[in-house]
Amino acid sequence: MQSSAASIGNIGNNIPDLMTAAQQVGYGDAKDALQLKSDVTVPKELKASQVLVRNHAVSINAIDWKLLNGNMSIIKTYAFPHIPGYNVTENVSEAMKPNNDDLLVIDYTKYNFGEILHHQNYDVVFDCVGGQEQWESAQQILKPGGRFITIVGDDPHSNLTVKNIVTMGAGVINRKFWSLVGQEPSYIFHILKHDYRHLDDMRVNYIETGKMKPMIDHVYDFYNLKELHEMYDRSKSGKAQGKMVAQIIKD
């Protein structure tokens, strides 16, 4: 995450030499691995496919605390200090609309939604929590041929090791097999793809038309290191209800 006074386009004289950035200095919890530096050199040697952007705000996803913790080091390693961050967009649409007033809220930390909604025959269950119990509960409420879509998987806190990859892959293949040969619900492990066309379609047809609105869990001060640590801890807890945003420039 970085606060750059740069703008899109050609590198000009109005761009400062230094910027403030949140730097990863090693693997571990945010309080140990993340530092705030105000004297980081602004990158000016750009490739033809790169632009320098002035950020007003940034947000993090579940994968960010895993990268910080080193859970993904088997496929992604860094030379420290490193500025963490990816250009990825996630949005959650509003559930409550004039024609969508049938909303039941269940505290998943206390109750099994599969038991409460048993035999309701839903078309889709979208899982943002993770854990095998979510899949087991979903099978109690999905109609034959229904879909269980997860962005987390069975173990939301697992390290990405060869053993875990094989175990996870075998589990997904097994569930997909039974959904194909029978009437079992489909198990879909969804990973967001970086495609500007999809993001632009989302912006034009959903966000700008008001069909989709981002849900903000909390806004943090980018220049307060304690708040940055709290943002990562909040993401790791799995209890955030929307995006966690670090504000760089107050508009």
pLDDT digits (tens, 9 = 90+) for 214-231: 889 999 999 999 999 999
Tell me which amino acid residue 153 is: G
Gyration radius from the chain CA atoms: 21
The span from the CA of 40 to the CA of 222, in Å, is 15
Q: Confirm if 12 and 66 have CB atoms less than 8 A apart.
A: no
Report the share of the chain in percent with pLDDT over 90: 15
73: tokens are 């080091």
Distance between first and last Cα of the chain: 19
| Strand ranges across the sheet with 142-150 | 122-127, 142-150, 186-189
Averaged pLDDT for residues 106-129: 86
Query: Lowest-confidence range among 134-143, 163-172, 189-198?
Result: 163-172
DSSP E strands in 53-93: the ranges are 57-60
Q: Which residue has the higher pLDDT, 14 or 30?
A: 30
Residue 157 CB neighbours (<10 A):
13
Residue-range domain boundaries for the chain: 2-92+214-247, 113-189
Report the CATH superfamily, name and number, of domain 2-92+214-247.
Medium-chain alcohol dehydrogenases, catalytic domain (3.90.180.10)
Confidence of residue 202 (pLDDT cuts 50, 70, 90): confident
Quote the crossing angle between the two packed helices 225-237 and 62-69, to the nearest 10°: 110
Q: Which residues of 8-21 are buried (b: 16+ CB within 10 A; e: fewer)?
A: eeeeeeebeeebbb
120: tokens are 């309701």
